[in-house]
Amino acid sequence: MSLFADYHTGRQSGGYGAAYDEMFASGANFRAGASSTHGASPPKPRPHYKALFDRLNTLSADEFKRRVALADATLMNQGITFTVYGDASGTERTFPVDLIPRIVPADEWEIIERGLTQRITALNLFLRDLYGDAKILSDGVVPREIIENAVHYRRAFIGFSAPKNIHVHICGTDLIRDADGRWCVLEDNLRTPSGVSYVLENRNIMTRVFPQVFAAHPVRPVSHYTTVLLDNLRALSPRTDNPSVVLLTPGIYNSAYFEHAYLAQQMGIELVQGGDLFVDNDTVFMKTTTGPQRVDVIYRRVDDDFLDPEVFRPNSMLGVPGLMRAYAAGNLALANTVGTGVADDKVVCRYVPDIIRDYLGEDAVLANVPTYCAWEDADRSYILDHLDTLVVKAANESGGYGMLIGPQASDAERAAFADKVRADPRNYLAQPVVELSTAPCFLNGKNIGPRRVDLRPYILTGPSGVTIIPGGLTRVALKEGSYVVNSSQGGGSKDTWVLSRPLPRQSQAQSQGRQRQSQSL
């Protein structure tokens, strides 16, 4: 029986509303007799998915499960894990990977790439202005009240010049498709965005487990991410002669520690914790067995609040006393710079189209998901009156925490969230429930079914310009009916294939002949 025997898109049934299906262009229902009952032809995949669909249709569940077992063994052996805080059954888990790739055609990626380049360019200009003359506030483009009450706004750094005038060196922007298939921005992640290690490892797994299908598609590479990142970091150094770069981690109990160790290893730089560094004469040094070694650039995966106990939290054991003195003296570069979190604020995200227009004189290529901010009286009234239809979020939470999905919440949960909104309106915003697109996933070791997905591309900015790694992290809500794709909330991921060109047309006979020649995907 075909792996697609029970597949049905959201346009048919199954709790997915009118969701856009990544693989099928029209309503798909493969359940026995569904097509013949209505005298219709079987659903057809979108052109860029046809080769993959044809190959998957030749596999049995047992064949697919063997490949899943191989992938799981790879994940376990390489320690590809994440941490779930507060999980009584144990915090460390392998990261779930669904082995059916998400495919993005070349023309769609061109739009995404243009939109993200535009967005990060404007956000860097915004942060430079915000910690400089703050003209955008004086002009009223962004309300001053929003910025001055932002949790991650760092007044102490007004007047600081970021090396090379770049504030955000690494950004992960979360994109979704709406019901019509249009790409929209859900939020930006400009502090210490995580997940790129899974992008790189997902690709390694796919090339091992499904080599034939991968080779049959013109997939753009992602392996150059760490090379570009390291080049960008070195270019920030205040010294041009053999600059020293390190990655600062909070330690082994951080949820993204695997990623910290992985990226440091891939770039060939030292992975350090706060206790491995010290500041002398406004210069940062690393303790080594051969004596102190100067550090010029820190790729920090530690939040602002914990970076330097002299400036931020005095009880922090994660940072380095005097780090900000070295930064202020121009003897150190940080990626990302201090204070970028103000643009990470979900309330500020609402104003990014205005920010783009103000700095670049252009309309946003990628639209924001419509957003209501509770600090505005009219918006707050709307939110409170429509809690049963909205997704309400805290401005600075992440990982799927601090949010209410109104249609799926109980009356008591909505009432409790209404009290939170009234008590602290600046901290809350709401968005309509957007039907995230669905993509095929191998479920329960039996068959393929739809699950909701989003996409987090990774954007690198350096002195030589902006680089967007083709693809990104497709996150999957593996729980039936769920909208939450975060790994800590039961989500997983997929490899994302960006095609460099359209797939060539071929006859069905050619396609079947190629399939017969291969015993594996």
pLDDT per residue, tens digit, the chain (521 aa), is 688 887 876 544 445 667 899 999 866 565 544 443 344 455 789 999 999 999 998 999 999 999 999 888 888 777 776 655 555 545 556 678 999 999 999 999 999 999 999 999 999 999 999 999 999 999 999 999 999 999 999 999 999 989 999 999 999 999 999 888 999 999 999 998 999 999 999 999 999 999 989 999 999 999 999 999 999 999 999 998 999 999 999 999 888 899 999 999 999 999 999 999 999 999 999 999 999 999 999 999 999 999 999 999 999 999 999 999 999 999 999 999 999 999 999 999 999 999 999 999 999 999 999 999 999 999 999 999 999 999 999 988 765 677 899 998 999 999 999 999 999 999 999 999 888 999 999 987 888 989 999 999 999 999 999 999 999 999 999 888 888 887 666 688 999 999 998 766 543 333 443 333 333 44
**Contact call for residues 233 and 335 (beta carbons, < 8 A):** yes
3-class SS letters over 275-310: HHEEEECCEEEECCCCCCEECCEEEECCCHHHCCCC
User: What average pLDDT is seen over the chain?
Assistant: 88
What per-residue confidence (pLDDT) applies to 17? 64
Cis status of the peptide bond prior to 336, with omega within 30 of 0: yes
**Contact call for residues 397 and 489 (beta carbons, < 8 A):** no
The side-by-side arrangement of strands in the sheet containing 428-432 is: 372-373, 428-432, 390-394, 403-405
3-state DSSP assignment of residue 220: coil
Q: Is the dihedral of CA 200, 267, 247, 80 positive or negative?
A: positive
Stretch (H or E) spanning 187 = strand 183-189
Is residue 444 left, alpha or beta, with left meaning phi > 0 and alpha meaning psi from -120 to 50? left
Amino acid at 398: S
Cβ-based neighbour number of residue 207 at 10 Å: 13
Q: What does the angle CA 428 – CA 434 – CA 439 come to, to the nearest 5 degrees?
A: 130
- Describe the chain by its helix, strand, coil percentages, rounded to 5: 35, 20, 45
DSSP for 469-502, please give it: -SS-EEEEE-STT-----GGGTEEEEEEEEBSSP
User: What residues have CB less than 8 Å from 225, skipping those under 6 apart?
Assistant: 196, 199, 200, 458, 460, 469
Is residue 445 left, alpha or beta, with left meaning phi > 0 and alpha meaning psi from -120 to 50? left
Q: Torsion over CA of 250, 251, 257 and 258, rounded to 10 degrees?
A: 150
Amino acid at 53: F
What CATH architecture is 371-432?
Answer: 2-Layer Sandwich (3.30)
Amino acid at 459: I
HSE at residue 366, side-chain half, CA atoms within 13 A, is: 29
Condensed to tens digits (0 to 9), the pLDDT of residues 178-232 reads: 888 999 999 999 998 999 999 999 999 999 999 989 999 999 999 999 999 999 9
**Contact call for residues 102 and 439 (beta carbons, < 8 A):** yes
